[in-house]
Amino acid sequence: QVQLVQSGAEVKKPGSSVKVSCKASGGTFSRDSFNWVRQAPGQGLEWMGRIIPIFGTPNYAQKFQGRVTITADESTTTAYMELSSLTSEDTAVYYCARDQKLELKNWFDPWGQGTLVTVSS
């Protein structure tokens, strides 16, 4: 059973960056696909991008191109999402979620518990 455990809540200043981690256990890390999805307060889900560690090249939503960096460390089975140039509109809960694209399983399961990122001066 795959489990995803994310890093804790963050409070950041506008213009700064945040890096959120997602530790995976119980699966085949290198062949899984790790996605990042955010949810602003009271809003819907927004897909940001994903990485398949065995390939290493991330895929980003156009909206976040140039501002998000998704990486994966196979030695620690941990995926990361770094978002730069933060504004108050980036205040949200950030989730990591696994899909198994290489196994033709294009759905998200499981999800991490979520990380609240608050951007405030």
Partner 1 sequence: QSALTQPASVSGSPGQSITISCTGTSSDVGNYNLVSWYQQHPGKAPQFILYDVNKRPSGVSHRFSGSKSGNTASLTISGLRAEDEADYFCCSYTTTSTYVFGTGTKVTVL
> For partner 1, which is the closer residue by CB, 15 or 98?
98
Per CB under 8 A, does 94 bind partner 1? no
Strand-pair category, 45-51 with 59-60: antiparallel
Residue 32 sits at the vertex; the CA angle it makes with 99 and 20, to the nearest 5 degrees, is 80
Complex with partner 1: residue 19 or 105, whichever CB lies closer = 105
Buried b / exposed e across 28-56, counting CB within 10 Å, b at 16+? ebeebbbbbbbeeeeeeeeebbbbbbeee
Count of residues engaged in binding partner 1, rule: CB under 8 A? 25
Pairing relationship of beta strands 10-12 and 115-119 according to DSSP bridges: parallel
Stretch that binds partner 1, among 11-19, 21-29, 37-45, 70-78 (CB under 8 A): 37-45
Which residues sit opposite 79 in a β-bridge?
Answer: 22, 72
Residue selected from 3, 16, 113, 120 as contacting partner 1 according to rule CB under 8 A = 113
When asked if residue 19 is in the footprint of partner 1 (CB under 8 A), the reply is no
Interface positions with partner 1 (CB under 8 A)? 35, 37, 43-47, 49-50, 59-63, 95, 97, 105-109, 111-114
